[in-house]
Amino acid sequence: MAVYMLIFFAALGIAYVGTPLAQRVAPVAGFVKQPGARHIHTSPIPLLGGAAIYIGFVAAMLLFNSGQPPAEYKQLAGILVAATTLALFGLWDDRHELKAVVKLIGQFLAASIIIWSGIRVEFLHQPVLNLIATFAWLIGISNAVNFLDNMDGLAGGAVSIACAFFFLLATTNNQILVASLSAALFGACLGFLRYNFNQAKIFMGDTGALFLGMVLAAVAIKLRFENNDIVTWMIPVMVLGLPLFDTTLVAISRLRRGVNPFTTAGKDHTSHRLTDRGFTRREAVLLLYVVCFAFGMASLFLLNANLVEGYLTGGIVALICLFALWRLEFHKRGAL
């Protein structure tokens, strides 16, 4: 546990100190998000927060991570190289606004590196299906976290909560690498969140959001449980329930309007719909933190659930999500 604390506080401290430095460097280097019709901020905001998160995460893992089984060093190397690759694509996008297809190429490359390292979905028991599912999960979660980065403090806080639950789940099964990665991501996000919570002084940009999503997805795949995977496959899905819900809501809404879900930004995310219904931005983000926590608590219940309990829980959560989707997408605005 002492090693995990070192990793956590190292990542937190480096990100906490590095974020205001990034805030000063960003305008000079041209990494600034200008306000526009699709955005909720009204003044230029520095964009290099993701670089501070990345440096805090990588530095903590390299300085204090130890005691891994030999086979997991290759996986750690794969995750760090993939994180670096995607952070560089995100940095490029924050400066020059890449086309969606170029960002997708970066995600595919990062996912390929993670799969090469030996991290892949296994519960489908068919190599081809497992490979397809792994690519879909890694790229899907990377985009989902990027989608969720739409309001001050939302993505950083949601990822922090998810990492906290992944850490708890990993330590119950003595999964050292998963716990270490979760602690590093948790600390780095909290260090950044001090400057990103409403009113944000800096954004993480695609530099942070894309790489956070990819590493978080890899951590989720790395989780292993002793009991039946017929139930436990739902645990990572539950922990990451909010970004998955938000992406689903936005995709359905944009397809209904004849808009490409992945090439168009807009104020149609879960957080925006809550503010349309009377919540302040701070209240909307805090409410979604509670939702993340509720998803995490459901994942802890699934850890020891039998088949009936597990699927009953999953079914109830799915029904609640469908009801919320209906209220947010089809119910008239102005009331919940």
What is the block-wise mean pLDDT of the chain (336 residues), using blocks of 10 residues? 91 96 91 69 81 95 76 88 94 88 93 94 86 95 94 94 96 89 96 91 92 95 79 91 95 86 78 91 95 95 88 94 92 54
- So what's the pLDDT on residue 334? 47
Q: Do residues 65 and 185 lie in contact, with contact meaning Cβ atoms separated by under 8 Å? A: no
- So what's the pLDDT on residue 122? 83
In a domain, 77, yes or no: yes
In a domain, 335, yes or no: no
List the alpha helices (DSSP H) in the chain. 2-29, 49-64, 70-96, 100-116, 127-148, 154-172, 176-196, 205-222, 229-232, 234-239, 241-256, 270-276, 281-302, 307-330
- So what's the pLDDT on residue 134? 95
CB atoms within 10 A of CB 170: 23
Tell me 65's DSSP state: -
In a domain, 148, yes or no: yes
d(CA 14, CA 10): 6
- So what's the pLDDT on residue 335? 47
- So what's the pLDDT on residue 332? 57
Q: Do residues 245 and 270 lie in contact, with contact meaning Cβ atoms separated by under 8 Å? A: yes
- State the residue for tokens 């209220």: 327
The total number of structural domains in the chain stands at 1
In a domain, 63, yes or no: yes
Domain region containing 300: 2-330
In a domain, 336, yes or no: no
